[in-house]
Structures are given as C-alpha cells and as structure tokens.
Chains A and B, each alone.
Chain A
C-alpha cells in the first residue's frame, strides 16, 4: 500500500520535472526569439539600406528631380527632425521638471494626490499620437495657423510630456528620505530642497528622461503628419513648414520609383542609427553621472 503511494508521488514528481524541462525550453526560446527579432530588424534594415547610403544623402537637400530618382539628399529631413526633437524636448523639459519636482517635494505627504497625478500621466501616455496630431491640427485650423515647425514642436512636446515627467519622477522617487530630512533639519525651505538638492541628486534620472523623450520625439510620425507639413528646404524660422525623417521615409516608400524607395531604406538606416546612438549615449551618461550622487 505504502509502496504504491510512493510510486504515485514519484511518478507525479517525474512528470513535473519533465514539464519544467519543457517549459524552461519554451521560455528560453521566447527570450531568444525576442533578441533574434531585434537582430533581424537591424539586419534587414542595414542590408536594404546601406548599399544606397551615400555621402550625398546626408549633405544635400532634395534637388529638382529628387522624387523621380535624380540627385539630392535628405538633409532637410535630418535637420528638420533634429530641430523638432530639440524644441519639443526643451519645452517638455521646462514644463515637466517643475511638475515632477512638485509631485515629489510639495505633494510628498499627500500620497492620494501623487497617485492620482501618476494615474493621469499614465493615461496621457496611453493616448495614441495620431489623436494628438488630429487634435493639434483642429486647433491650428481654429486659430488659422498653417502647418509649421512651431506647431509640430508644441504637439510633439505634449506627446512626450508624460514620458518625461514619469521618467524624472522615477528618478526622484529614489532620492533617499534621509537626504530630504537632513536638508530640512538644516533649515532649508521646500523650494531649496527641490532645486538645490533633489535636482542635483537626480541628474542621472533627468539625463535618461531627456534622452528617452528625445528618441520618442525624433521617431514619432503620426503627431507631425498634419502639424509640421513637408518641404524640401531647411527651415530658417519657426513658422515655416518642416520635413521630418519619419515622414520622409514614409512618403518616399510609397513612391513607385525604385530609386526613391532605395533612398527610403537608406533614410531608415539613418534614423535607426540615431536611435541606437541615443540608446548607447543614455547608458554611458547614466553610468557616468551615477558616480556623483550621494548614496546612503
């Protein structure tokens, strides 16, 4: 009798063991699959894009017959995207930093309010960028503004604002309580704590937040689709329409002419490398600035 039940449990154990082996295999496989997909994406973009990548592409604006496969480059889109991303990141930073400081200093004892604000931020982050774009376009028509760099900057800034605030907030959350208390006990006011202590302590978090938002701003196409327009010239003022890299890729790819399509792949290589550079930069800078924070 006893032997029998022993046999039963050992059988069950055996089954569990094989089940574990099987699922461990499946798990490892899915992790590998994710890494493999990233490799595949980068590989296929590079294979398609690098052959048509040339120095001309990144140093010239489109010339006369550019959209029929003649000479020229996409410098207008590169510069336009960089302007747009810098402007949007700057505005989002100016608005976002005080809000996240306010949440973590003034509201630090009102947990309910902070949680509500985080909830709203998460909701704002979830709103699709096309909704921001369409809404921004309606407002522009209402006010009689034409598609321009400034409009694109404002819409993109609104789009990346929640990411910026949440990322800085994550950094500020980790500031040790002891540091806050010791600065209070030395007689600092709340705004001194916020701008002189918290800000400095949180520099790695802020750098990550800024780079994250910059990457988001430079890559988003749906929000700028209606708001920034498209042009072959490099913008010289805020009220001019501007070309952006994602839209340049999108428009050129829908062309039936193979040479133009080739260029879209090359532009995709440029955009991908910008994103990869930002990613590496953010890792390096975070590690560098982490050395200067106070640790308990």
Chain B
C-alpha cells in the first residue's frame, strides 16, 4: 500500500548498501553448498586410478593387503571399523538412553545444573586426550582385569579397548541429541496419559519411548557415523594389525587409522596413494549415508509434532 512511499524515504545509499550486502552474502552462502561437492569430486578423481585397475568387488571383498605388489583388499579395514563402531555403540547406547530419560524426566534442577557442564566438557575434550586416557587407563584395565576373566592373554591394544574409548567419546554426542529428542515430545501427550491414571513409569514406557523411537534410532545412527570417522584416539589403542579380527580381544586396523598411518609416506607409488584416497572416499560415503538417513528420520520426526 504505502510501501513505495516508505521505500522512497530510505536514502539510495542505504538501499545500495543493502543490495551490496545481500549479493556478497549470497555468494558466501553458495560457497557452503559447493564445499561438499568439491570434496567428493576431488576424492573420486584421486581414487579413479585404483578403480580403473581393480573392480569394486575385488577392492571391498578381498582381504589381501599388499600395496607393494598392487593388491588392495579393504576387507580387514572395513571389518575392523565395523567391529569397533558397533561394539562401541553397544556400550554407549544403553548408558545414553537411561541417562537421557533420567535427565529429562526425573532429574531436578541441581542435577541438571551439574550434568550440563559435565556433558559439555566431555564433548569438548580433544580426541588425543581420550587416546592418552585409553593408554593410561583402559588398555591396562582390559589387559589385566577383563581379558583374564575370559581366559585370554592380550596386550590390551585391541578392539575392546578401542570400543570403550570410542563409547566414552560418543556418549556426550548421542546424549545431547537424545535429550533434544525427548524434549520435543509435546507436554500434552504425557499429560493426557497421566490424567488417564497411568503412572509415571508407565507413561515413559508407553508414550515417551514409543513416540521417541524414530528419534532414538536416528540418534544412534548419528553416533555410529561419528565414531566411524574418529581417528587419533582409536589409532592409539586399537593395535593396528591388518587382518580381519576374529574376536574382541584381537587387534584391528580401522579405515581412518589406515589413512593416518600411511598417508604422506607413500606418495611415490601412485596406486597406493590412490588406494588411500579411496579409503577416504569410502569413509566419507559410509558416514554420509548414516548421516543422511538419520537426519531425514529426525526431520520427519520433528515435523509430526508441529
């Protein structure tokens, strides 16, 4: 109506500044969209050399890793990664779930005020520190306490130690998401259940957990993808032996550790270089797959309550 008049009253310089700001900020925002495409295409381009000389099936399902004679089987590394991440999720998931219900449903103000910084600090500790802690505390604990219980001799540098360290690392990550998820459940829903005479525990079991199930699954998926890409801490405690692990007391060699240990030295062999870039690509594809799946699940979950 009178919008044109208002616009006339704004001086041209201010409008020009506005337009100028809009354009460069748009360009920077577009930069954000370009970065992931750039990374994926760069990794694809670098690993094309390996893919030209070997079939994909050969690379993923062969367990022969002899870079010097041109044999690149990624199965040991993929299996180690799967063992470590799944075991760590197995440890972290129940702790996170129980703690999330406790913090959202039962805990009072003082407990929350104490736990929030605890979770934040745990999330902020660098992975090297977790690695050091793993070497100081977890490795001896596994070697001297847990392994003898099963009658196994081990140095402690194995899948189980790596999983324990990883579990501790992803706990704050999963816990934060779970708390958010449980808090998005509308109060009316739980109040309706309480007003019908259901007890608190009954409500948690049959209303909150049931409603939050997709969210819980996606939180676990995000945790899984986070632990899949974790490098330094795992590298320090996992033992780094390139063989398919046959049990939790065996050493492993996950994908990120493979890249970190070998990259930079092997630039002289183009195929080796290409194989390591392929493992980075593989890592990224797996992580993106879990991420996209979980995020979509979360998005559809949040939409239902709006």
Q: Which of A56-64, A231-239, A274-282 contacts B (4 or more CB under 8 A)?
A: A274-282
Q: Is the CB of A271 within 8 A of B126?
A: yes
B29–A102 touching, CB < 8 Å: yes
B-side contacts of A95, CB under 8 Å:
28, 31
In B198-246, which residues have CB < 8 Å from any A CB?
Answer: 199-202, 222, 225-226, 228-232, 236
| B231 engages A189 (CB within 8 Å) | no
**Which chain B residue has the least Cβ–Cβ distance from A19?**
B201
Q: Are A131 and B99 in contact (CB under 8 A)?
A: no
Residues in A with CB closer than 8 Å to B107 are 31
Q: Is B151 an interface residue (CB 8 A)?
A: no
Q: Are A250 and B103 in contact (CB under 8 A)?
A: no
- Residues in A with CB closer than 8 Å to B39 are 127, 131-132, 135
Q: Is the CB of B280 within 8 A of A215?
A: no
Partner of B115, one of A27, A35, A122, A138: A35
**A34 to B169 Cα, complex, angstroms:** 11
| B236 surroundings in chain A (CB, below 8 A) | 250, 253
Determine which residue in A95, A130, A161, A194 has the highest number of CB atoms from chain B within 10 A of its CB, and name it: A130
Question: Quick check: B118 and A220 within 8 Å, CB to CB?
Answer: no
Question: Which listed residue (B25, B95, B168) contacts A101, Cβ 8 A?
Answer: B25
**A65 within 8 Å of B by Cβ?**
no
Chain B residues bordering chain A, tally (CB within 8 A): 89
Task: Verify if A28 is at the interface (C-beta below 8 Å from B).
Answer: yes
Cβ-defined contact, A126 with B6, below 8 A = no
> Is the contact region of chain B dominated by helix, strand, or loop, or is it mixed?
helix
- Cβ A31 vs Cβ B99 within 8 A: yes
What's the nearest-Cβ distance from chain A to residue B206, in Å? 11
16 sample A-B contacts, Cβ–Cβ < 8 Å, listed by A number: A34-B118, A34-B175, A35-B115, A35-B118, A48-B136, A98-B29, A101-B25, A120-B33, A123-B36, A123-B288, A124-B36, A128-B229, A128-B231, A131-B283, A134-B259, A222-B232
Binding site for A on B (CB under 8 A): 6, 9-10, 14-15, 17-18, 21-22, 24-26, 28-29, 31-33, 35-36, 39, 42-43, 46, 94-96, 98-99, 101-103, 106-107, 111, 114-115, 117-122, 124-133, 135-137, 168, 171-172, 175, 199-202, 222, 225-226, 228-232, 236, 256, 259-260, 263-264, 267, 276-277, 280, 283-284, 287-288, 291-292, 295, 299
Please give the residue numbers on chain A whose beta carbons come within 8 Å of chain B beta carbons, in ascending order: 13, 16-17, 19-20, 23-24, 26-31, 33-35, 37-38, 40-41, 44-45, 48, 95, 98-99, 101-103, 106, 115, 117, 119-124, 126-132, 134-135, 137-139, 141, 158, 161, 165, 187, 189-192, 194-195, 212, 215-216, 218-222, 225-226, 246, 249-250, 253, 264-265, 268, 271-272, 275-276, 278-279, 283
